[in-house]
Amino acid sequence: MSVGGEIDRFDELLQVVYGEIHRIAANYMKYERPGLTLQTTALIHEVYLRLHDKGISWESQAHFVRIYALAMRRFLIDQSRKPRIRNPVQIDPSRLTEIATKEVLPLEETIALAELIEKLAERHPRAASVLELHVFGGLTFLEIGEQLGVSDRQAKRDWVYARCWLKMRLEGQAS
């Protein structure tokens, strides 16, 4: 398919899954610092500009949503890192339960968690995706399973693995 065809497909896919993309973007925005001028729709548009002309071959709607969600999170993290120099932040391992219940984390902890997810992705990409989609995207395990092409039970197992891995890393930070 030509690049022009890929761009047309991008626009078509975005129209089909816009509601889901908007819901994920809204969940991401919950974690942003108060007073941020970027709104949910603007986040979607910023990522649109980044992905639109890339000529990516989309395997499915789920693949499109995953890539778009990842690009939105990366955009927000990049924006958070720009204006300030920050000291390393340690997340208290006892807060994993709060993270799992989608408490809005302070910006520094959100960035630290995102960095840990990137490290987890090097070892176990699917578990990192489950963690990211559940915590940052607010998706249920059934929705995550659909996005990743696995059962909701497998998504839950990956969640358990990711939480255990994260807890071990966080306890290692604390010592």
**Which of 50, 69, 85 is a domain's end point?**
85
Q: What distance in Å separates the CA atoms of residue 55 and residue 5, rounded to the nearest whole number?
A: 9
Whether residue 75 is found in the same domain as residue 96 = no
**Could you read off the pLDDT of 15-56 as tens digits, one per residue?**
999 999 999 888 888 767 665 667 888 888 888 888 877 777
Picking from 143, 124, 125, 123, the residue whose alpha carbon sits closest to that of residue 134 is 143
| Banded pLDDT at 82 (limits 50, 70, 90) | low
Q: How many domains does the chain have?
A: 2
Whether residue 67 is found in the same domain as residue 99 = no
| Banded pLDDT at 175 (limits 50, 70, 90) | very low
Whether residue 7 is found in the same domain as residue 81 = yes
Domain span including residue 149: 90-175
Is residue 107 within 8 Å of 33, Cβ to Cβ?
Answer: yes
Q: State residue 26 phi and psi, 5-degree precision.
A: -65, -40
Mean pLDDT lowest for which of 37-41, 88-92, 158-162?
88-92
**Could you read off the pLDDT of 115-146 as tens digits, one per residue?**
888 889 999 999 998 988 887 777 889 989 98
